[in-house]
Amino acid sequence: KNQVEQSPQSLIILEGKNCTLQCNYTVSPFSNLRWYKQDTGRGPVSLTIMTFSENTKSNGRYTATLDADTKQSSLHITASQLSDSASYICVVSTNRDDKIIFGKGTRLHILP
Amino acid sequence: DTEVTQTPKHLVMGMTNKKSLKCEQHMGHRAMYWYKQKAKKPPELMFVYSYEKLSINESVPSRFSPECPNSSLLNLHLHALQPEDSALYLCASSQLAGGPQNTQYFGPGTRLTVL
């Protein structure tokens, strides 16, 4: 069964600190993996997209990694800011159909 | 223009009302999507349109009726909804449906409350 598992479910860190969010997937056949940031009550915004051959991709203070062998991805946030408080959703696509599989997200809280 | 717009932002309706949600994009994307999202849950796919044709209907009740008048517009017609249908309704579009070009760009959503 195609699944995307994220951990932790929620995370609280102090402003300026770094953190890493995890995503494990069992989606097959794999096409690509994306990390989205979703503020409460708003639509998700794409942060990174990674295909099978890519190991690392950065977008400002966000760095995503992908290990296609172990089917794991991480999102590292450096020097966190209060505006980073949001849900971070890992989304995986297959080559088989038009659907994408969402993780349940990690709720990140940045405290001043 | 790299934006997906949705109207209205908020909608309150009774169970006997008929209303419509609208979504628009001008990025030349040929795939458009409707999602339903309850609080603290990931979005749930409802419908996918590819080249203005309905390609996926995730067994959505008939009280939700999608329409894609052209490649830039996507509507969701609502009739006889139930209170449990209250949620954030998200529209998304992607260059194509499927493959690496299916990075979906989401609109801000319509917050729907059914009384």
Q: Encode pLDDT of B5-40 as tens digits.
A: 999 999 999 998 999 999 999 999 999 999 999 998
Q: Which of B98, B105, B111 sits opposite A98 (nearest CB)?
A: B98
* Residue B15 falls in which region: left (phi positive, over 0), alpha (psi -120 to 50) or beta: alpha
* Side chain identity, residue A104: K
Contacts of A89 in chain B (CB under 8 A): 42
Other C-beta atoms closer than 10 Å to the C-beta of B90 total 27
Give dist(CA A8, CA A74) in Å, integer. 11
Residue B55 to residue A98, Cβ atoms within 8 A: yes
Residue A98 pLDDT grade (very low, low, confident, very high; cuts 50, 70, 90): low
Segment 16-35 of chain A within 8 Å of chain B by CB: 31-32, 34
**Chain B residues 22-41 within an 8 A CB cutoff of chain A:** 31, 40-41
CB atoms within 10 A of CB B106: 22
Amino acid B99: pLDDT: 61
Query: Mean pLDDT over residues A68-93, rounded?
Result: 95
The whole-number average pLDDT for the span B76-90 is 96
Does A98 sit within 8 Å of B50, measured CB to CB? yes
Paired with B31 in beta bridges are B50, B94
A98, B41: Cβ pair inside 8 Å?
Answer: no
Residues of B in contact with A102 (CB under 8 A): 42-43
> What is the 3-class SS of chain B, one letter each residue?
CCCEEEECCEEEECCCCEEEEEEEECCCCCEEEEEEECCCCCCEEEEEEECCEEEEECCCCCCEEEEEEECCEEEEEEECCCHHHCEEEEEEEECCCCCHHHCCEECCCEEEEEC
Give the per-residue pLDDT at B98.
66
Arithmetic mean of pLDDT, B80-99? 90
Asked if B100 and A41 come within 8 Å (Cβ–Cβ), the reply is no
Query: Of the candidates A51, A93, A104, which has its C-beta nearest B42's C-beta?
Result: A104
Q: Residue B1: which pLDDT band, with cuts at 50, 70 and 90? A: low
Confidence (pLDDT) at A65? 97
pLDDT per residue as tens digits for the range B41-72 = 999 999 999 999 998 888 899 999 999 999 99
**A9 part of contact set with chain B, CB < 8 Å:** no
| pLDDT band of A57, cuts 50, 70, 90 | very high
The rounded mean pLDDT for chain A is 92
pLDDT at A30: 87
Q: What is the mean pLDDT of residues A41-60?
A: 91
Residue A47 confidence (pLDDT): 94
Please tell me whether residue A84 adopts helix, strand or coil conformation.
helix
